[in-house]
């Protein structure tokens, strides 16, 4: 008995599923890398802002610093703390295929306590 045809048919049906699974893993990996880059840029910007609190136009400087490193909608709030919120729609293959949007929304707040810089993630 010849099973070559049966194996070929099973392979043809399984191959697209495997390719979609690999693409999904790839997209999730890229999303995590992008999110990590955003988190690093936000933390570095907050640290810079806390070390240079007395600088004029600090909000504009921080915004330009972030825009040079990341893309997205940036909101900066400066009081006795620095709060930065960044939102961006991540363009992925699955956005169109599954009609699902991968969005990055990160909010960090930084402040000084006992001469130490503290940066916490609020949302994301």
Answer whether residue 23 shows pLDDT above 70.
yes
Give residue-wise pLDDT tens across range 50-101. 999 888 999 999 999 999 999 999 999 999 999 999 999 877 776 666 666 6
CA torsion angle 89 94 100 105 (round to 10): -30
Show the tokens assigned to 60: 């504009």
Contacting residues for 62 by C-beta, under 8 A, at least 6 apart? 45, 48, 49, 76, 78, 82, 84
pLDDT of residue 95: 64
Q: Cα–Cα distance between 52 and 121 in angstroms, integer?
A: 21
The model's pTM: 0.82
Provide the pLDDT for residue 81. 94
Provide the residue ranges of all domains of the chain, joining segments of one domain with +.
4-123
Q: What is the mean pLDDT of the chain?
A: 88
Q: Give yes or no for a contact between 60 and 52, defined as CB atoms under 8 angstroms apart.
A: no
């Amino acid at each position: 008995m010849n099973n070559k045809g049966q194996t070929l048919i099973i392979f043809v049906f399984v191959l697209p599923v495997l390719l979609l699974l690999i693409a999904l893993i790839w997209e999730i990996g890229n999303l995590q890398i992008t999110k990590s880059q955003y988190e690093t840029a936000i933390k570095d910007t907050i640290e810079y802002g806390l070390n240079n609190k007395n600088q004029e136009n600090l909000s504009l400087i921080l915004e330009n610093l972030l825009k040079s490193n990341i893309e997205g909608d940036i909101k900066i709030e400066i009081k006795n703390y620095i709060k930065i919120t960044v939102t961006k729609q991540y363009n992925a293959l699955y956005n169109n295929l599954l009609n699902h949007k991968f969005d990055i929304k990160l909010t960090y707040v930084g402040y000084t306590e006992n001469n130490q810089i503290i940066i916490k993630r609020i949302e994301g």
